[in-house]
A and B are shown apart, each in its own frame.
Chain A
């Protein structure tokens, strides 16, 4: 595509950006550019290098090599967040950078408050007036005096946008801005993006939702495995094409193709019409003995919420669950006693007791076995910990080691070990290998297969498509909290799952 190569047309130009973390190349000589006043989408699978590229542009992390020019200024290798802001690069975070106890106006002008000339004290009236002017100009539903605590997530995003505009931003980066918004809020955001564009502000947009990328963007840059795949112009953009480019043809090396084989056997878990208002709706499926049932879908499609409800961590509103043939109203304690395990989505926040030893971590869900009468049998506790460490090859294999000091992969092994030393019948696994090294990943896959071979049923949620296709016997794809498609008895590829997750209906499944 030989489009106009006039430098002046480009707001941001990156050439041959390379970055590696501890020997692992995450960005490999990537060229990337944003034009003035365009909406540019950056897409790619998890791990494609999107976040790293954004971090380099915003100065959150440094680059190893490559040139960057912003608005005619050469950006030096030493590029800090402060420098990026001074250049006019703004990032809209979900809600992180706002101070909850302060007002909308105070947040917008944080660090650049108007001062009274003599006393050098903050001119509160002027502060609020300036905020009101800004709000009225964009007609946002905000009041200068509202506390951040009291407004919705969508409104907080608007405050973020105003904060960036007050700093004279020329590039606004939005990372998954719609993931926690309602439909009307998304529409409002789209209008705002159009407005920004009409004012000549460029928007760099990152999203997994194809329809958004499709309807909003002037251009799309596709990354895969740290490399630039293609830059699509407006007329070339279609969801199918983007997905094809994102996945690529790497079937053999990653073995993404998988013959699905629905296992017969007894139904272990029977879910009918399960609904949790605002999270998921009317979900029904069976899980058989020894089966690995994969749940696919985009972030926010209700996958995590579903497994949390099934485990008893969150309540649900309607529907029935039968476990081992009996009516089942789950609670965490009942689930554990009944032979159900749970690997939560966020290891650090939900999985591990960082300040406790490996032994204690493994012991906690097993207190019913190691302390049946309330008194801990240290012998039994040590025995289980030793078994868990050996079974999962935890390194270093020292039971008294604090789990917070282990590597990510070993932490996840400890989380898995907690359950593998029990007699399990069913386990819910949510994103088992996020942020862990490839060796530990393969080991965890082995254990999931071994569980299934032993007759344990597995419900696996994953955004990692090769992971989902390799491990699952059957895959259900959720979309916007509803059942969208089921893959059984076919050759499954990551592309098929992603197409379904993005709402593309297949003619037939071959």
Chain B
């Protein structure tokens, strides 16, 4: 009881390793480089979005407009490159700026007008989807050009798909910002006790504004990566992804009421879900059963993060 609390990441790894061991025993195909690469590759999109979505979550809010922002970003980057003829690098840059502005607008309504984030971003999810529909004229657009753009996601470096590098870079950066910068400290403080944070010199409105802006920005990055990977863009491209991201955050130990969280934990959470899906597939369990398995894992993770299921360690998580 008087020992140092175990870090969330470590606690997750303790669960992850036996899970992998079981899957390895059950299916010889599980522990192969190809299969593992595939699993990690499949969570790249969730990992990228989580690296930004965690900020609003820790402040005690939520960004439910991630999926719509990502889909819109794919359509917009295509618009810039293939219809307006802007070179691909500035096109991506502009798209990320637009995504950040979308986040900034969400943050403005949440921080300044004080409307609950859940409602604000739920509305944003809908109107951004609407804008995406209009811009794309409701069509599914194929992106075949430019080649370098397609290579962002389809290319490999040292044998691994590029998106893995992008995701790892974003997750590490985000984790660094959360753990080692003044801003990260302030995000945690606002989520823990906004009034106390304010009296200690933190500007909660500014912290919220920046948090939602980051979330919008990483959603746009995710949207661009997704577009390059699938080579097609449409308004419903990332529909429902916000739930997968929130699942990853929850499993990764990000508190539902704010004040605590880890991007690396979220990534491990996403990988854990992916492993389970992968394992079920390898074992030829029908897809029908997947949601039951995933839902159960979420509940178990919540119990674990709240200090249950770990004997004699009930004190480590809650005040």
Contact = CB atoms under 8 A, between A and B. Distances in A.
Nearest to A370: B182
Interface stretch (A174-182, A267-275, A352-360): A352-360
B106 interface: no
A144 interface: no
B193 A354 contact: yes
Contacts of A349: 193, 195-196
B255 A355 contact: yes
A405 B201 contact: no
A353 B2 contact: no
A350 interface: yes
Interface string B173-209: 0000000111111101101110111111111000000
13 contacts: A332-B198, A333-B201, A349-B195, A350-B195, A355-B191, A364-B202, A365-B200, A367-B185, A367-B186, A370-B182, A371-B182, A371-B185, A374-B182
B197 A364 contact: yes
A485 to B, nearest CB: 30
A404 B201 contact: no
B5 A400 contact: yes
Contacts of B319: 354-355, 402-405
B83 interface: no
A342 interface: yes
B259 A365 contact: no
A363 B186 CA distance: 10
Interface string A362-398: 0111011011001110100000000000000000101
Interface string B276-319: 00000000000000000000000000000000000000010011
B196 A353 contact: yes
Given A355-B260, A355-B319, A374-B181, A360 B199 contact: no
B4 interface: yes
Interface in B76-114: none
B199 A344 contact: yes
A340 to B, nearest CB: 11
B193 A333 contact: no
A356 B189 CA distance: 8
B202 A376 contact: no
Given A353-B259, A355-B193, A356-B189, 6 more contacts: A332-B198, A344-B196, A349-B196, A350-B195, A398-B2, A404-B318
A332 B180 contact: no
Interface in B239-266: 255, 259-260
Nearest 5 A-B pairs (CB), nearest first?
A: A404-B319, A371-B182, A353-B192, A354-B319, A365-B200
Nearest to A352: B196
A418 B196 CA distance: 12
Nearest to B179: A376
B242 to A, nearest CB: 25
A356 B4 contact: no
A411 to B, nearest CB: 10
Contact of B196 (A311, A336, A350, A398): A350
A351 interface: yes
B50 to A, nearest CB: 21
Interface string A406-440: 00000000000010000000000000000000000
A364 B198 contact: no
A260 interface: no
A355 B256 CA distance: 13
Contacts of A351: 196, 199
B199 A371 contact: no
Interface string A170-200: 0000000000000000000000000000000
Interface of B: 2, 4-5, 180-186, 188-189, 191-193, 195-203, 255, 259-260, 315, 318-319
Interface string A326-352: 000000110010000010100001111
Contacts of B180: 375-376, 378
B195 A356 contact: no
B231 to A, nearest CB: 39
A356 B188 CA distance: 8
Given A351-B196, A353-B197, A418-B200, A405 B185 contact: no
Nearest to A365: B200
B114 to A, nearest CB: 16
A332 B201 contact: yes
A398 B1 CA distance: 12
Contacts of B4: 400
Contact of A405 (B193, B195, B199, B315): B315
A350 B192 contact: no
A447 B231 CA distance: 66
A165 interface: no
A203 B259 CA distance: 45
Interface in A317-333: 332-333
B189 A353 contact: yes
Residue among B4, B186, B192, B199 with most chain A CB within 10 A: B199
Given A376-B180, A405-B319, A355 B259 contact: yes
A456 B205 CA distance: 32
A19 B159 CA distance: 74
B201 A360 contact: no
Contact of A364 (B2, B191, B200, B255): B200
A344 B185 CA distance: 21
Contacts of B193: 349-350, 352-355
A313 B201 contact: no
Contacts of B184: 376
A431 to B, nearest CB: 14
A25 B144 CA distance: 81
Contacts of A396: 2
